[in-house]
């Protein structure tokens, strides 16, 4: 009985690993940096409006993570989109959601501090 349960666990593990989605391709910091510095990307702050109003990047657009679905057409129409948040968690979720919904020109800028640092580089 112990062998059968071990085999079943192995088969289940293989089945789950085969159906898992492939990891998203990450953009290099250099690619993000170029888009941000050249203002060739629309910057999307996916934090809640209160956080955005308190502190963000000039010319960034606030589209909270929970509201992304209602802005897909706008995001698809942008040349490039860089999303960011406080800790990078929501930005990563936003990139995954947007790519699954046909927004191919989206990039993970990770955090507000990261985008600010890029903007402030000479």
List, as one string, the DSSP characters of 55-105: S--TT-EE--GGGGGGGHHHHHHSS-EEEEESSSHHHHHHHHHHHHTT--S
CB burial of residue 61 (10 Å; 0-12, 13-18, 19+): middle
Read off the pLDDT of residues 44-79 as tens digits, 9 standing for 90 and up.
999 999 999 999 999 999 999 999 999 999 999 999
Q: Is the pLDDT of residue 9 over 90?
A: no
Q: Is the pLDDT of residue 92 over 70?
A: yes
What is the rounded average pLDDT for all residues in the chain? 84
| Lookup: tokens for 66 | 């929970």
Q: What is the mean pLDDT of residues 85-89?
A: 96
Q: How far apart are CA 102 and CA 9, in angstroms?
A: 35
Q: What is the pLDDT of residue 93?
A: 98
């Amino acid at each position: 009985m112990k062998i059968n349960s071990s085999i079943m666990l192995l088969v289940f593990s293989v089945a789950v690993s085969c159906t898992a989605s492939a990891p998203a391709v990450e953009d290099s910091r250099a690619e993000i940096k170029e888009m941000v510095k050249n203002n060739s990307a629309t910057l999307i702050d996916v934090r809640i409006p209160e956080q955005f109003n308190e502190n963000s990047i000039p010319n960034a657009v606030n589209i909270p993570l929970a509201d992304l679905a209602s802005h897909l057409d706008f995001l698809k129409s942008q040349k490039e989109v860089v999303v960011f948040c406080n800790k990078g968690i929501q930005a990563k979720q936003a990139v995954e959601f947007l790519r699954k919904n046909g927004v191919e020109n989206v990039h993970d800028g990770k955090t507000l501090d990261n985008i600010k640092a890029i903007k402030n580089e000479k």
